[in-house]
Amino acid sequence: MSTVETLCVWAEESVRLDAVLHALEELRRPEPMPAVRNSVLNLCIVGADSRNVDRARAAVHELAGRHPARVLHLVLDPEARGGDIGLDARIELLGGEAEGRELWFEDVELVVRGPATAHLHSIIEPLTLADLPVVAWFVDEPPAVDDPILSAADVVLVDSRQLGGVDCFPNLTELVARHTVVDLSWMRLAPWRTLLAGLFEGPDFRPFVHHVTGAEVAGRTGPRHLVGGWLADRLGLPRNAIHLTEAEHVTIRLHAELPDGRRGTFLASRGDIRRVEARADVAGGPTSSAVLELPEATPAWGLADALSRLERDPVYECALARALS
């Protein structure tokens, strides 16, 4: 992770977009050695709740060493009328260092008012860096499928746990049919999924994966439903074979029985605050265990993996669909 500091700031109220673009060009000029552009993506944060926005920004800054991004934060005020129609803009040029390399990137905050809020693509596109993907991160609520921002975005980023858990799944299910959606809540489940899947590797354990008879999944609303949907889809389990219960952290326990009567139990659970532990026990056979340290529970958890993988995830989409069924 990198330490980020503000190199310079430009801010104006009620300005046109060309003034913002000009300011972006000018910001780097006073620096003694104009840096090569380091950004690898455009990240557009959409939301009004300052806590959510600040959390998102903190995550982006934390990841600057790995995914330096031009950050656009849009605050929308569609009800504004008359003389208020203009952009309030604030641009920060940020500098940091990662693995000995200097990184520069810009954080642009725009308050958009009036009719322009219905034509956001006309604002986003001029501000994005060419040839880099545009990721729209909705931090307050999932977008409607016809949200105008989506026409300018390559990828929709959400955190379904933050957006209400299972309550937002119907909306997300509609979205994934038309857009590439990356869900941070799903990304954070990867350690559990990886460890659980790994328990079935090897000739002593592999047969059991085809004979899972039931699953118990504990966790919060959203994550536990995604895990349940994933198991239902991947293992062909009927919904009534999966028992979901409320808990602070995710625990997954699978029960399997081979045709010859041998039974096995496969467990992935959070051992303590920072690790996931997994264990396989099969009757008359070897045992297998593994432990995986979780990253620190910062806002960036899951974001790094998400930004490395800006593409459709059919496994997630199926898990989402089965979570609702």
Q: Pick the binder of another protein from 190, 283, 297, 324 (CB under 8 A).
A: 190
Q: Pick the binder of another protein from 291, 296, 297, 324 (CB under 8 A).
A: 291
Q: What is the DSSP letter of 87?
A: E
Is 1 an interacting residue with respect to another protein (CB under 8 A)?
no
Q: Pick the binder of another protein from 148, 164, 214, 285 (CB under 8 A).
A: 285
Angstrom distance (rounded) from CA 186 to CA 7: 35
Is 292 an interacting residue with respect to another protein (CB under 8 A)?
yes
Q: Pick the binder of another protein from 55, 57, 61, 67 (CB under 8 A).
A: 67
Q: Pick the binder of another protein from 25, 79, 99, 146 (CB under 8 A).
A: 99
Number of residues in the chain: 325
Closer to another protein by Cβ: residue 110 or 187: 187
Angstrom distance (rounded) from CA 269 to CA 184: 19
Burial class (CB in 10 A: 0-12, 13-18, 19+), 51: exposed
For another protein (CB under 8 A), the number of binding residues is 53
Handedness of CA 319, 321, 323, 325 (dihedral sign): negative
Token pair for 242: 């999966």
Is 195 an interacting residue with respect to another protein (CB under 8 A)?
yes
Is 214 an interacting residue with respect to another protein (CB under 8 A)?
no
The amino acid occupying position 279 is R
Helical (H) or strand (E) element with 314: helix 314-324
Binding site for another protein (CB under 8 A): 36, 38, 40, 65-68, 98-99, 101, 103, 190-191, 193-207, 209-210, 233-236, 275, 278, 280, 285-293, 308-309, 313-316, 318
